[in-house]
Structure 1
């Protein structure tokens, strides 16, 4: 499960998605950090001059409306797609079809094959930005401030030729859901009933271990 990743710089977001947040915070992200996510604008917001997509900043770690404080996000940065529609933390965002894309330049997973955990940096083979499928939510601070947040959707990776190498040998292997570039708007436009059809493994030959692992 992914708890550490790198967001792309603003110029890469613009090149890949046509939008970027107004502010750019640190690119090295962990749960509770602020990072960019991309969602579809409502029809009322769209016109000939306004792009369909918008990029906003939110907390990495989804906050359901009933969360008591932002620290809840330490446990909600990933959502198991198999149970997302029933788990109390995620079911509201799932049923409201609040889909998003989390742009990822690289993500980190622990490689235990040597007998100890080695944090490993993973990128696309071509160096492109990964479009990770996610859910977003809005949450109100006690002060009244609205906080956006997001979570990455995951699938089983026990048989994935690349992702099965990560996490402890005794643990279930999991992978974030990386969408092909051609399916980004299809994902954001899809219905609740179509959600699980996008929960597919990314081709293993399109992922590579980067030597700049931390």
Structure 2
């Protein structure tokens, strides 16, 4: 399961890779559950014939889905990933799934722990060609005490047989990976009917990903650290 990802560091990437204008509030770069980040969705008015309405829009939201019945934002700490095998049943996700509230989470990389050396090593996983990832997700809007609050979750699939992702997390744990969409499928996903959603729940090819230990920026005068 992915609880940590790297948001886009360059605002221009929103335009070139996802054809959207970045929101004024872009949130954190080092993203964890409960943090405010960015997701991309299809506006309700898209396709209406109004040329002023874009096909995609980027919105700031909480990483961790907050369904309408959530009591507070703390639930986001447990709803940042949605298993594709159970998403239709879990109360936290089923309304968004059944309503086809599809979104894309833009990320320069995701991070997973590699336990093979005995001590967990945070590992950066990115697309081999260096382009951002577009991760399939679901979004929702929650009525908070101060107004509407958007939120999102990443969809995941089993990765026990994935050449790269099977190397992460503890040996006894099931291997999982987020659903990384092919670039050509972005609009297909955003416009898909709920009955078509499962067609997109696939592993991303291992040979199109690269992994390396996470490097922590050093303090002045010190050496880089590997975690």
Tell me if TM exceeds 0.5. yes
TM-score after normalising by structure 2: 0.90
Tell whether 2:42 aligns with 1:13: no
Query: Who is 2:187 aligned against?
Result: 185
- Mapped to 2, the partners of 1:68 and 1:48 lie a distance apart of 39
- Aligned-pair distance for 1:211? 4.7
Q: How many residues align?
A: 213
Query: Who is 2:2 aligned against?
Result: 2
- Aligned-pair distance for 1:176? 0.2
Structure of higher CA gyration radius: 2
- Mapped to 1, the partners of 2:68 and 2:213 lie a distance apart of 40
1:124-163 equivalent positions in 2, closer than 5 A: 124-143=127-146, 145-163=147-165
- Mapped to 2, the partners of 1:116 and 1:104 lie a distance apart of 26
Range 8-17 or range 28-37, more displaced: 8-17
- Mapped to 1, the partners of 2:203 and 2:17 lie a distance apart of 21
- Mapped to 2, the partners of 1:13 and 1:75 lie a distance apart of 27
Query: Who is 2:113 aligned against?
Result: 110
CA displacement 1:166-190 (0-9 Å, x = unmatched) = 0100000000000000000001111
- Mapped to 1, the partners of 2:135 and 2:26 lie a distance apart of 19
- Aligned-pair distance for 1:135? 0.2
TM-score after normalising by structure 1: 0.96
Query: Who is 1:168 aligned against?
Result: 170
- 1:54 corresponds, among 43, 51, 57, to 57
**SS at 2:156 equivalent:** strand
CA displacement 1:89-147 (0-9 Å, x = unmatched) = 1011111110000001011000011112111111110111000000000001134x100
8 Å CA contact 1:122–1:208 kept in 2: the answer is yes
Structure 1 portions without partners, runs of 5+: none
Distance of aligned partners of 1:81 and 1:48 in 2 relative to their CA distance in 1, 3 Å threshold: same
8 Å CA contact 2:27–2:35 kept in 1: the answer is no
Distance of aligned partners of 1:46 and 1:174 in 2 relative to their CA distance in 1, 3 Å threshold: farther
Query: Who is 1:201 aligned against?
Result: 203
- Aligned-pair distance for 1:48? 1.9
- Aligned-pair distance for 1:15? 1.1
Q: Aligned Cα RMSD in Å?
A: 1.3
8 Å CA contact 2:45–2:53 kept in 1: the answer is no
